Amino acid sequence: MKKKIKQLLFIIRFSLSSRFPGIYGRYYSLFYRPEAGSLSAYLDYYSQYRKGRVRFIQIGANDGITHDPIHKYIRRDAWSGLLLEPQKYVFDRFLVPLYARTEGIIPINAAIGSEDGMLPIFKISYTNERWATGLTSFDKQTLQKMIDNGYVARQSLRSGIQAPEDRSQWISEDMVEVICFRTLAQKYPQAEVNLVMIDAEGFDDQIIRMIDFDVMRPDVIVFESMHLDDTRHQSLCTYLEQYNYRVSQVDASSIALQKKLPF
C-alpha cells in the first residue's frame, strides 16, 4: 500500500510540474519555506540573492524531480541551465518530458568526463526503480558497497522486487557518452555559470577537478560527499580553497561557496 501511495504521489507531482509548471512554481512561491540550515535553505537564499537569475549545470540529474534540490527553484524562480543524465531510460522516460515545455532548460543524455568519448557505467541490473537508478555510478566500488551494506537488498524488499539469488548478477555495465566541460561550453554556450550541482555517486571529487576554474568559476558548487572518505573529502576541500571557496557540510552533501558571497 505504501508503495502504491508513493507512486501515486510521484505521478501527481510529475504531472503537475510537467503540464502546469506555472502553477507548480506558484505553489512553492506561496507555501514553501526551507528548513533552516538545510541545503534548500542555502539554495533559496542564493536564488533570492541573484533575484532568480541563476544559470546552472546539473551533473547526474536522474528523473529531475525526486530528491532533486534545484527542481523547485527551476519552477519557482525560472532558473536556466543544462541537465546531464547518462542513463537513457531515465533520460527518455522522465527528464525529457518533465522539461519539454520549459524554456531555458536543456536536458543532455551524457555524463561529464575528462575528455569526450564513451565510458562504462555501473548500475543495478534487475530494476529501474528510482532508488536503483540513483545508485548508478562510474565507481563500481561505491555501488558494491551499497550492496555489501544491505541497502540494495532492503530497498528491493520494500519495493517487492525479487533480486537474483547470485549477487554477482546484481551489477550490470553499460557504455554511455561522456562530454568534457570544454566541449559542453562550446556546444551549449551560456553567458555565465553560477551554480554547479553534482550527484555522481562517489565520482564527485573527480568531476570537480575537471573544472577549469580559470575559465568557469561558479559561485556555488554542490556535491554529494557521503561516498567520499575523510581523506578524499579533505583533499577536495583543500583543492577548492585555493580557488577561494569555503566548504560546509549540509545534510548528505557539501556546498562550496565563493568567499565573496554574503552568506
Kindly report the pTM of this predicted structure.
0.94
Cell of 223: 556535491
- Which range of residues forms the domain containing residue 29? 2-117+176-258
The number of domains in the chain is: 2
User: Are 66 and 90 found together in one domain?
Assistant: yes
**Over pLDDT 90: what percentage of the chain?**
92
Q: Which of 134, 155, 171 is the last residue of a domain?
A: 171
pLDDT number for residue 149: 97
Alpha helices in the chain (DSSP H): 2-19, 21-31, 39-49, 71-77, 88-90, 96-98, 130-133, 140-148, 151-159, 181-187, 204-208, 230-241
Per-residue pLDDT of 117-161, as tens digits, reads 999 999 999 999 999 999 999 999 999 999 999 999 999 999 999
pLDDT band at 6 (very low <50, low <70, confident <90, very high): confident
Q: Is 180 found in the same domain as 159?
A: no
The reported pLDDT for the residue numbered 117 is 97
| Domain-located, residue 26 | yes
Alpha carbon 121 to its chain centroid, in Å, reads: 16
Residue 140, Cα to own-chain centre: how many angstroms? 18
Spatial separation of the C-alpha atoms in residues 54 and 74, rounded to whole Å: 9
Burial class (CB in 10 A: 0-12, 13-18, 19+), 235: middle
Residue 260's nearest CA partner among 115, 17, 46, 7 is 46
End-to-end CA distance of the chain: 43
pLDDT tens for each residue of 84-108: 999 999 999 999 999 999 999 999 9
Rounded CA separation 54/32 (Å): 19
Residue 40 pLDDT level (bands cut at 50, 70, 90): very high
Residue 39 within a domain:
yes
Q: Is the pLDDT of residue 55 over 90?
A: yes
Q: Is 182 in the same domain as 200? A: yes
pLDDT confidence of 252, banded at 50, 70, 90?
confident
Residues 227, 129 within the same domain:
no
198 and 128 share a domain? no
- Asked if 104 and 137 sit in the same domain, the reply is no
8 A C-beta contact, residue 86 and residue 179: no
Per-residue confidence (pLDDT) for residue 92, from 0 to 100: 98
pLDDT surpassing 80 at residue 190: no
Report residue 48 as a C-alpha cell.
533570492
Bridging pattern class, strands 253-258 and 220-224: antiparallel
Write down the pLDDT at residue 82: 97
From 5-9, 203-207, 238-242, the region with the lowest mean pLDDT: 5-9
> What residues does 173 pair with on adjacent strands?
122
